[in-house]
């Protein structure tokens, strides 16, 4: 693979993994965390034999793309090892995955949902797991995977070795990780949530949302020097589709990637971006974690992320493996709180390219997006509305009383002076049988009565 010198996270974590210690590893994105747990696992798996439906090691990943990438790396690293590796992700046939499990698996790489599907079907036993790896631990615990992770940890043996690796580890997530680790060794080679020095970070102001913001992005892409390719991040999946159509309409070579796409389309888009067929990848945060595309020259935050940790992962897609990169963030007045949280997390202010955003306009001059394009209706005084309501209700009551008296005069009277209930009109004559189409079929069957 051309590795001649280990990265700091690899140099510190690998000896502890070989000693069978639990490890909590924190390092910047793009510093080789994947090799920090896959390389020692190859040594640990040299002895032993895989059994059918009982994998020896388990690696959990938050997204399908990251799981497929780890599978690819493991296959390359273990080229001279006769190890069976299986990938369990959604969007792929259960039958093909079940066939691999039946042969016996040394390394199982999976997303939590598909793994539990196989367990519930009785196709997989986790009682033979020796090493459990939870990659991107903060994302796994922070994005709704907590119940799944707890279930999986109860299914694997208590004597397992557990490895946590992530680029960020907030205090509340660290407390959760303590439930799954036993006397761990903390390996921290850089400040948590710090950004790489090889990435140039810049802010670009946009006064308005929607079409004007898209225009700012297009001008920014055209003016970028040395743009080979770039990833454009959006906060919402629907914005990914809208922005993709806009860029394609203006002649940009772009593809999309978000969580609602089927697996074939996601892999096709990633392959097109990796091979250079597409210059721009418009994506949600599904592409922000762990994807290793070393030659990404630029990252564009079309939307400033709501969570400050996501900013670190997004801009970590560029400037990898010692290369330089540039990250732009298009900022509006609505992003001021998120921007302040990001600058507080990374510990440095982000410089502006061009004019800064300036002060927000007063509330009276802001246009509410909910009322934009709607016709303005003038409100009438409250007293006028009350008087009109009273007069309307009086007239309605008079008309209702007159109609009631007229209806009662038409009804036939009984001898005691009371009203006779109105008869329902029949739709059939006396000789014609009644319509029984509303009855169920079993009630219309003839009944045979046995003679006593």
Q: In percent, how much of the chain has pLDDT > 70?
A: 78
Q: What's the CA gap between 154 and 51, in Å, rounded?
A: 21
> Are residue 160 and residue 301 in the same domain, yes or no?
no
Decide: 53 and 123 in contact? Cβ < 8 Å: yes
Does 375 map to a domain? no
348 has a pLDDT exceeding 80: yes
> Are residue 94 and residue 213 in the same domain, yes or no?
no
* pLDDT at position 412: 52
Find the DSSP H helices in 262-381.
Answer: 263-274, 308-315, 336-346
Confidence bin at 71 (pLDDT 50/70/90): very high
133 has a pLDDT exceeding 70: yes
Q: What's the CA gap between 249 and 112, in Å, rounded?
A: 38
> Are residue 42 and residue 93 in the same domain, yes or no?
yes
> Are residue 120 and residue 220 in the same domain, yes or no?
no
> Are residue 87 and residue 203 in the same domain, yes or no?
no
Confidence bin at 361 (pLDDT 50/70/90): low
Q: How far is CA 153 from CA 34, 81, 179, 180, in A?
A: 21, 28, 10, 7
Mean pLDDT (the chain) is 81
* pLDDT at position 128: 94
277 has a pLDDT exceeding 70: yes
Does 1 map to a domain? no
> Are residue 146 and residue 270 in the same domain, yes or no?
no
22 has a pLDDT exceeding 90: yes
Q: What's the CA gap between 287 and 317, in Å, rounded?
A: 9
pLDDT digits (tens, 9 = 90+) for 411-420: 555 444 554 5
Does 409 map to a domain? no
Does 74 map to a domain? yes
The domain that holds 148 is classified in CATH as 3.40.50.300
Last-in-domain residue among 143, 167, 188: 188
Across 57-63, average pLDDT: 92
Q: Which of 278-282, 310-314, 374-378 has the highest mean pLDDT?
A: 278-282
Confidence bin at 47 (pLDDT 50/70/90): confident
Does 365 map to a domain? no
126 has a pLDDT exceeding 90: yes
Q: How far is CA 121 from CA 117, 181, 204, in A?
A: 6, 28, 51
Distance of CA 240 to the CA centre of its chain: 13
* pLDDT at position 118: 95
Q: Is the dihedral of CA 114, 119, 125, 129 positive or negative?
A: positive
Last-in-domain residue among 128, 153, 188: 188
Confidence bin at 431 (pLDDT 50/70/90): low
pTM of the complete model beyond 0.75: no
> Are residue 175 and residue 262 in the same domain, yes or no?
no
Question: Beta partners for 331?
Answer: 205
pLDDT digits (tens, 9 = 90+) for 151-197: 999 999 999 999 988 777 777 677 777 888 999 999 988 665 667 78
Which H or E run includes 132? strand 131-135
Token pair belonging to 112: 């939590």
Last-in-domain residue among 138, 155, 188: 188
Q: What's the CA gap between 452 and 126, in Å, rounded?
A: 68
Does 248 map to a domain? yes
Q: Which of 58-67, 170-179, 427-436 has the highest mean pLDDT?
A: 58-67
Q: What's the CA gap between 131 and 61, in Å, rounded?
A: 14
Confidence bin at 65 (pLDDT 50/70/90): confident
213 has a pLDDT exceeding 70: yes
Q: Of the given ranges (79-88, 214-223, 301-310, 350-359), which has the lowest mean pLDDT?
A: 350-359
Top-confidence residue, 167 or 7: 7
Largest CA distance in the chain: 113
Q: Which residue range forms the structural domain that includes residue 28?
A: 8-188
Does 380 map to a domain? no
Top-confidence residue, 294 or 351: 351
148 has a pLDDT exceeding 60: yes
Decide: 149 and 141 in contact? Cβ < 8 Å: yes
* pLDDT at position 248: 94
Q: Kindly state the DSSP code that residue 360 receives in the 8-state scheme.
A: P
> Are residue 171 and residue 214 in the same domain, yes or no?
no
Across 138-144, average pLDDT: 71
Q: In percent, how much of the chain has pLDDT > 90?
A: 43
> Are residue 152 and residue 236 in the same domain, yes or no?
no
* pLDDT at position 323: 83
Q: What's the CA gap between 3 and 8, in Å, rounded?
A: 13
Confidence bin at 439 (pLDDT 50/70/90): confident
Does 405 map to a domain? no
> Are residue 128 and residue 258 in the same domain, yes or no?
no
What total of structural domains would you count in the chain? 2
* pLDDT at position 368: 44
* pLDDT at position 279: 94
391 has a pLDDT exceeding 90: no
257 has a pLDDT exceeding 70: yes
> Are residue 217 and residue 354 in the same domain, yes or no?
yes
266 has a pLDDT exceeding 70: yes
> Are residue 220 and residue 252 in the same domain, yes or no?
yes
* pLDDT at position 401: 55
Top-confidence residue, 360 or 225: 225
Q: What's the CA gap between 303 and 210, in Å, rounded?
A: 11
């Amino acid at each position: 693979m051309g590795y001649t010198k280990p990265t700091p996270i690899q140099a510190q974590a690998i000896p502890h993994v070989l000693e069978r210690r639990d490890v909590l590893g924190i390092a910047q994105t793009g510093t080789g965390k994947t090799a920090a747990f896959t390389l020692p696992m190859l040594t640990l798996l040299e002895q032993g034999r895989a059994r059918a439906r009982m994998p020896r090691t388990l690696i959990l990943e938050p997204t399908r793309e990251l799981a497929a990438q780890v599978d690819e790396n493991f296959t390359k690293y273990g080229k001279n090892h006769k190890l069976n590796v299986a990938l369990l992700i959604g969007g792929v046939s259960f039958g093909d995955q079940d066939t691999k499990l039946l042969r016996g698996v040394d390394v199982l790489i999976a997303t939590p949902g598909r793994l539990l599907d196989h367990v519930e079907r009785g196709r997989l036993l986790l009682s033979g797991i020796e090493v459990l790896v939870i990659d991107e631990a903060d994302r796994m615990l922070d994005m709704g995977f907590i119940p799944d992770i707890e279930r999986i940890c109860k299914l694997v043996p208590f004597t397992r070795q557990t490895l946590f690796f992530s680029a960020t580890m907030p205090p509340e997530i660290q407390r959760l990780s303590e439930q799954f680790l036993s006397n761990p060794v903390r390996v921290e080679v850089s400040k948590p949530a710090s950004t790489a020095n090889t990435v140039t970070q810049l802010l670009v102001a946009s006064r308005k949302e929607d079409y004007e913001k898209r225009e700012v992005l297009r001008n920014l892409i055209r003016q970028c020097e040395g743009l080979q390719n770039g990833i454009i991040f959006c906060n919402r999946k629907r914005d990914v589709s809208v922005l993709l159509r806009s860029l394609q309409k203006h002649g940009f070579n772009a593809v999309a990637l978000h969580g609602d796409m089927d697996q074939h389309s996601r892999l096709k888009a990633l392959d097109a971006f990796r091979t250079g067929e597409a210059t721009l990848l418009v994506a949600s945060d599904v592409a922000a974690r762990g994807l290793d595309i070393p030659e990404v020259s630029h990252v564009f935050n079309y939307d400033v992320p709501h969570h400050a940790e996501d900013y670190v992962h997004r801009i970590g897609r560029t400037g990898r493996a010692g290369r330089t990169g540039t990250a732009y963030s298009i900022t509006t007045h609505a992003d001021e709180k998120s921007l302040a949280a990001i600058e507080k997390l990374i510990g440095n202010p982000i410089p502006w390219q061009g004019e800064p955003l300036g002060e927000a306009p007063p509330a009276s001059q802001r246009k509410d997006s909910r009322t934009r394009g709607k016709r303005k209706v003038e409100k009438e005084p409250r007293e006028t509305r009350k008087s009109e309501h009273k007069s309307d209700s009086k007239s309605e009551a008079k008309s209702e009383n007159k109609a009631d008296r007229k209806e009662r005069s038409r009804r036939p009277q009984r001898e005691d002076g009371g009203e006779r209930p109105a008869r329902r009109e029949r739709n059939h004559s006396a000789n014609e049988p009644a319509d029984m189409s509303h009855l169920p079929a079993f009630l219309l069957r003839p009944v045979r009565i046995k003679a006593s």
